Structure 1
Amino acid sequence: MTAATSKSLTLEEFLQLPETKPASEFLAGKIIQKPMPKGRHSRIQGKLSNEINRVTEEQKIAYAFPELRCSFGNRSIVPDIAVFRWDNIPFLDNGEVPDRFSFPPNWVIEILSPEQKPNQVIGNILYCIENGSELGWLIDPDDQSILVFWRDRAPSLRQENDVLPVLAEIELELTANQLFSWLKMGN
């Protein structure tokens, strides 16, 4: 992540700026551009979003949005995957999904890229937890571990055959090994 130097902005002023590729986030007055996703990051993000949506969308339990801007408090973040309970999606009157989400996801998932500062990403997850998220994951493809954050207990590290916690209503049983096995696509 690289910080852009600029005059002091408010969250509303930041939201009026054009979107960047990759996305920029607004963290308490600072604009920070996320790194461009690489192969492992993209594979995990796509596969995990699809797996969550496979078991939640039809029953209208939840939905996993990849790269969805969530703006609340003094931040505007773009989690790699933002999972919202169905009842928390602020559908428009015509039933469509809105463009703006002004609250944290129920479950925030970040996939660490080599160029990212882990504590900055953890800071975003903690900010979400402090502002209402129930669950957070920091997926580290390099050491094949997932750091799990909850609202009501200390973080824990999940590896190998550890089952990964999900939101209560979601019927998805997944281990760390299963998640990281998605990276092996060849042969």
Structure 2
Amino acid sequence: MKSVAKIPLAEFLSQPNIEASPAWELINGQALEKPMPTLFHSRLQRNLVNYINSHTERFEAVQELRCIVPPYSPVPDISVIACDRLGDKDGPLEGAPDWLIEIRSPDQSTLDLQNKILHCLSNGTQLAWLIDITRQQIWVWLGDDLPLVCSAEDILPTLGDLPKLMVNAVMAMTPRQS
């Protein structure tokens, strides 16, 4: 079995190409390039960020924000962060997002995404969603609880003062919005 050299976080963060599109993440000591998003993935990401930001002032949803959660450096599809945690300087988020949202691409490993989610949950993330467009499901982690697999008219837990949101409503964000 071939061993893979692990990269220290500081060395990874000094690499010049990690912010290229698609971004690179450091997960479990390995530099991994995120897959290019599909059309539905991109639409869902944009529409969900817009929805969250238009319904809460306590949190801000940001796409593809690098987080520093030692020894990892994940770049969640969507990071939702309490506004009082966001400073005035540009750069990555120091720490895990309050709410992490990943949208599974067809060629992504569910296990790898869950590993990233679990690391963030163990380092301060309160809520995580793993959206699977193909299966029309959303896996939800809330605190230390085991994940729930939600579908159809299941109401999703959120942070802030968002109106009730069902899985069907999230999946409806993939077609073109007029």
Query: Quick check: TM above 0.5?
Result: yes
Instruction: Name the % identity.
Output: 37
Task: For 1:140 and 1:176, locate their aligned partners in 2 and report how far apart those are by CA, in whole Å.
Answer: 11
Equivalent residue number for residue 145 of structure 2 = 153
Task: For 1:74 and 1:122, locate their aligned partners in 2 and report how far apart those are by CA, in whole Å.
Answer: 16
Structure 2: gaps spanning 5 or more residues: none
Deviation at 1:6, TM superposition (A): 7.8
Where 2:118 maps in the other structure, the secondary structure is: helix
Match of 1:162 among 146, 154, 176: 154
Q: 1:23 to 1:163 in 2, by over 3 A?
A: same
Any conservation in 1 of the 2:139–2:150 contact (CA below 8 Å)? yes
**What pairs up with 1:86-165 in 2 under 5 angstroms?**
86-89=83-86, 91-92=87-88, 97-165=89-157
Any conservation in 2 of the 1:70–1:102 contact (CA below 8 Å)? yes
Equivalent residue number for residue 47 of structure 1 = 47
Deviation at 1:153, TM superposition (A): 1.5
Deviation at 1:21, TM superposition (A): 1.7
Task: For 1:142 and 1:30, locate their aligned partners in 2 and report how far apart those are by CA, in whole Å.
Answer: 27
Any conservation in 2 of the 1:53–1:62 contact (CA below 8 Å)? yes
Deviation at 1:181, TM superposition (A): 1.4
Any conservation in 2 of the 1:11–1:29 contact (CA below 8 Å)? yes
Any conservation in 2 of the 1:82–1:105 contact (CA below 8 Å)? yes
Any conservation in 1 of the 2:103–2:131 contact (CA below 8 Å)? yes
Deviation at 1:9, TM superposition (A): 2.3
Structure 1: gaps spanning 5 or more residues: none
1:182 aligns with 2:173: yes
Where 1:138 maps in the other structure, the secondary structure is: strand
| Structure-2-length-normalised TM-score | 0.91
Task: For 1:67 and 1:40, locate their aligned partners in 2 and report how far apart those are by CA, in whole Å.
Answer: 16
Equivalent residue number for residue 8 of structure 2 = 10
Deviation at 1:68, TM superposition (A): 0.2
Q: 1:186 to 1:103 in 2, by over 3 A?
A: closer
Equivalent residue number for residue 68 of structure 2 = 71
Any conservation in 2 of the 1:52–1:172 contact (CA below 8 Å)? no
1:108-135, Cα deviation, whole Å (9 max, x unpaired)? 0000000101100011111110111000
Where 1:75 maps in the other structure, the secondary structure is: coil
State the Cα RMSD in Å. 1.8
Task: For 1:161 and 1:83, locate their aligned partners in 2 and report how far apart those are by CA, in whole Å.
Answer: 23
Q: 1:8 to 1:124 in 2, by over 3 A?
A: closer
Which stretches of structure 1, 4 residues or more, deviate above 4 A after TM superposition? none
